[in-house]
Amino acid sequence: MVRRFCLMLSVLLLPWVATAAPAQRVISLAPNLTELAFAAGLGDKLVGVSAYSDYPPQAAKIEQIANWQGINTERIVTLKPDLVLAWRGGNPQRPLDQLTSLGIHVVYLDPKNAGQIAQALETLSEYSPVPATAKRAAADFRQQWQALKLKYHRDNPVPAFIQFGTQPLFTASAATMQSEVLELCGAKNIFADSRVPWPQVSREQVLSRHPQIIVIAGGKSQKQVIEDYWRSLLSVPVITLESDWFSRAGPRILLAARQLCPQLADLPQR
């Protein structure tokens, strides 16, 4: 009877043991997931990554097995991963289902805000050979985010327009991490109330909401493009943020916040 009970218990616990064991061969299917994997102590276990996985620098040396055209499932199978990190919002579902049917463990990470970045790191701690590293990264991220929130809070937030492109003209709603960064730094996204995460807007809509600043991802050349676009219509500061910091849902979103917050702090309170 005891032997039978132990056998049943081992069978019940088998899936838990399999998913909790440290991963030995990992594939990441998005640049932000690659960054999360490195932050969680899984960098040395990565055997395949997606295109544009260029941070940290050693990530650029790993074989690329996915890009905007799709996922190379045959190559993934050949690499024999025991863990694939995927993104529902950007990876096609069919090849992921194929990998799952072949017994390859797929974990979906879709962080859409700061809290979910920390949660993603904690999830990865279950597969990391150094789980304490992942848990510490999650705790440090939360602490630094909260410190910025306390330091840069404004009673009267600055109305801000997040601009992506010019033709067409896109922005971000409150459902995005980019909007959350603005709020953290003491700004108010003028299109926070949009019903879609990435709404297309017109110049007239922007002007009617009277932004006091424009925030973009890019460098000096992009800043000049935006200033020329609004010339004679809207004369407000254009703040540029490092593109990868601001666009990727990973730990470096903190760097975007540290880049933005001091610049907003220099603006006068209304």
Are 88 and 110 within 8 A, CB to CB?
Answer: yes
Residue whose C-alpha is closest to residue 45's, from 21, 27, 33: 27
Q: What percent of the chain has pLDDT over 90?
A: 88
Average pLDDT score, the chain: 92
Q: Two tokens at 217?
A: 């991802």
User: What band does 20 get if pLDDT is binned at 50, 70 and 90?
Assistant: low
Apex CA 171: angle with CA 165 and CA 173, to 5°? 165
Q: Point out the annotated binding site.
A: 52
pLDDT surpasses 70 at 262: yes
How would you classify residue 7: left for phi > 0, otherwise alpha for psi between -120 and 50, otherwise beta? alpha
pLDDT surpasses 50 at 198: yes
pLDDT surpasses 50 at 3: no
Instruction: Please report the pLDDT score of residue 19 as a whole number.
Output: 46
Cα separation of 194 and 197, whole Å?
7
Beta bridge partners of 238: 214
Residues of the chain with CATH 3.40.50.1980: 21-141, 154-265
Compute CA distances 82 → 24, 47, 106, 146, 200, whole Å: 7, 11, 9, 35, 40
Q: Two tokens at 16?
A: 């838990």
Instruction: Please report the pLDDT score of residue 89 as a whole number.
Output: 84
Q: Point out the annotated binding site for cyanocob(III)alamin.
A: 52
User: What band does 77 get if pLDDT is binned at 50, 70 and 90?
Assistant: very high
Residue recorded with tokens 């459902």: 175
Instruction: Please report the pLDDT score of residue 210 as a whole number.
Output: 97
Beta-strand (E) ranges in the chain?
A: 26-28, 46-50, 64-67, 70-71, 83-86, 106-108, 158-162, 187-189, 213-217, 238-241
Read off the pTM. Answer: 0.88
CATH architecture of 21-141: 3-Layer(aba) Sandwich (3.40)
- 3-state DSSP call for residue 70? strand
- 3-state DSSP call for residue 49? strand
Residue recorded with tokens 């190379």: 72
Instruction: Please report the pLDDT score of residue 267 as a whole number.
Output: 79
pLDDT surpasses 90 at 223: yes
Q: What percent of the chain has pLDDT over 70?
A: 91
When pLDDT is averaged across residues 205-227 and rounded to a whole number, the result is: 96
When pLDDT is averaged across residues 96-109 and rounded to a whole number, the result is: 96
pLDDT one-digit tens code per residue, 137-187 = 999 999 999 999 999 999 999 999 999 999 999 999 999 999 999 999 999
Are 36 and 86 within 8 A, CB to CB?
Answer: no
Q: Which fold has domain 154-265?
A: Rossmann fold (3.40.50)
